[in-house]
Amino acid sequence: MASRLQQAVKGAALNFQRTPAEINAAVQRLIRREQQTYDKVAAQRRPTFANTIAPLAKLENTDGGESAIISFLQNVSTDKQVRDASSEAERALLSSRMTSMMREDVYKSVQQVLENPVELARLDPEDRALAESMARQYRQNGLALSAEQRAKLKTIKQRLIELGIEFSRNTNEKDGVALFTRDELAGLPDSFFEDRETRTENGVQKFVVTTKYPDLVPVMQMAKVESTRKQMLYAEETRCPENIALLQEAVGLRLRAAQLLGYQTYAGFRLEENMAKTPDTVLEFASDLRQRMEKLAGAEIKEIETLKRADNEAAGKPYEGLFNWDYRYYSTLVKQRKHQISEEQVKPYFAVERVTRGILDLCQTILGLKFVKAADAPTWHPDVVAYEVWEADGTAFMGHIYLDLFSRAGKYGHACLNPIQAGYEKDDGTR
């Protein structure tokens, strides 16, 4: 597709195939480079944008992709040793980053750049915004606090890192599981049972259903037996009970950290750099949205209740109300009966390959890009499909995207987008 010149400037595909030993070595290398860069910045006698701000930004560009890959593997690798090494690597990288961002000597160098009117006059708006953002990040990491308060904040932040990693590990490694007979799964199509694991419970063969999306969503949408939907929702919402204590501790620590930094709430701390700026703005927006949506929701809920009342009456059961496990099922029925739309009937027309190609074609048209399958790109699993991204006319290579569309054991269980390597311009003008 591309000329020899274009191939020469094409960026290399990232390497996701790492052993635990390689992950550990990479972590040490990244931490060492980070420390060396920060030491050099702190040693500047006359801090400028070029010798202070730029090196810190370049470090994020050059090492950000490697750091992201190492942390990312805990969410996708089929090898538990690799996942564990990735989790420990993320812990080490975050701890090192936290320590760097709390260095008073580096913060002083950054501040000196902003306090130098001659230096500021040389900066364009983008560079000045970068310097101001960097200084604000240091303050948010406690550099405007006393040494005693900074020590307290560092202890809190370190514990929050550990809680976050443990919480994510539990969520990724532990799926909820429920067992059902074929009758209890009435309403599910034959395709749902193909190659599905079975277990014998009290002499009865039952199908294994997990809380991963490909299992959970069809059951909640199509299972006719209310107790089945209730049991599945319970399995989903009560998995990883050990995370409750972690979450409770994290909420308390976040509040303490925010208050140390002078904020009333953690939300106030997080929103400061966002468009909303304050929790009040967010709450006002949510309240206004809720009032507008309630007018539409009332009619929809009434429609759903009518269907459930009819089902209960036909089964000779009293109507006890509409519950969380009812919504998806009866919403699906409304679509089928009112709009004559059945997901099972249209599914054959939307095979994964066809939908993927259609979405990529749409993005090509809207964004002026071209996606080319990269058959030789190293990935983390055989299911993953990699694409090169080019300008539509083939004159410039933009990067890679990777699609990992199927669930598996040990993989992060929900839909997500993981940025790996941000685009940036090198010193020689290339990207």
Q: What is the mean pLDDT of each run of 10 residues along the chain (431 residues)?
A: 41 85 97 97 96 96 93 94 96 96 96 95 95 94 94 96 94 90 96 94 95 93 96 95 97 98 95 93 96 90 93 92 95 86 84 94 96 90 94 90 90 88 81 72
Provide the 8-state DSSP code for 212.
Answer: S
Least Cα distance to 53 among 126, 141, 142 occurs for 126
121's tokens: 């006059």
Name the pTM for this structure.
0.84
Q: What share of the chain is helix, strand, coil (3-state, %, to 5)?
A: 65, 10, 30
- pLDDT for residue 12: 67
For residues 232 and 175, the answer to whether their CB atoms sit within 8 Å is no
pLDDT at 375: 81
Would you state the pLDDT for residue 4? 35
Q: How many CB atoms lie within 10 A of CB 151?
A: 13
C-alpha distances (whole Å) from 104 to each of 52, 111, 384 are 14, 10, 44
pLDDT at 230: 97
Asked if 268 contacts 258 with a C-beta cutoff of 8 angstroms, the reply is: yes
Amino acid at site 293:
M
Q: Which residues pair with 403 in a beta bridge?
A: 385
